[in-house]
Structure 1
Amino acid sequence: MDDFIGLISVILIFSVPIVAIVTNFFKSREKIKLQILEKELELEKLKNENFLLETEKMRLELQKMELDGPKDEWVVK
């Protein structure tokens, strides 16, 4: 019986640091996931901004082409 109590107390003593290590691991993993999500969000914002700028640039180029008029006789509107 004393051996059983000793075994349980040893298991309990060593389980506390193991639980702390595992908890710390999961916490750091979640921090890394959060950082990845933040970077992906920033990337998507940049992609959207780039898309809007390119769209505006193409719109302005098209508007300029329409104002300049067709320079080629073969272009049909």
Structure 2
Amino acid sequence: MTSISQTAGRSLRPSSSGGFFRALASGAYALFERLERRSAIKTLNELDDRALRDIGITRCQIEDAVYGQVRAELTRYL
């Protein structure tokens, strides 16, 4: 008598829990990124204008610098 493995009839598609955990990890990563950026903005806002000028940004460019929107402008000076 031969036996048939129970796994032979199962499909190879991923379970729905994999998608849930992937979405959960993605949300946690997005939250972590947001908290890190808010912390960077707070730290830069605590600097005086001279220190900001030393790193090549003005006070009105802080959020753009943290979110990477003035990168091309900053690399021109490096």
Runs of 4+ in 1 over 4 A off after TM superposition: none
Structure 2, gaps ≥5 residues long: 1-7, 61-78
Q: Note the C-alpha offset of 1:76.
A: 5.0
The TM-score with structure 1 as length reference comes to: 0.50
- CA 1:76 to 1:67, structure 2 compared with 1: closer, same or farther past 3 Å? closer
User: Max radius of gyration: which structure?
Assistant: 1
- CA 1:76 to 1:56, structure 2 compared with 1: closer, same or farther past 3 Å? closer
The answer for the alignment partner of 1:63 in structure 2 is 42
Structure 1, gaps ≥5 residues long: 1-23
Q: Which has the higher contact order (CA 8 A, sep 6+)?
A: 2
Give the secondary-structure state (helix, strand or coil) at the position aligned to 2:15: helix
- How many aligned residue pairs are there? 49
Identity %: 6
**Which of the two has greater helix per residue?**
1
1:1-77 to structure 2, matched below 5 A, reads 25=9, 28-29=10-11, 35-70=14-49, 71=51, 72=53, 75=58, 77=60
The TM-score with structure 2 as length reference comes to: 0.50
CA RMSD of aligned residues (A): 2.4
Matched AA of 1:41: F
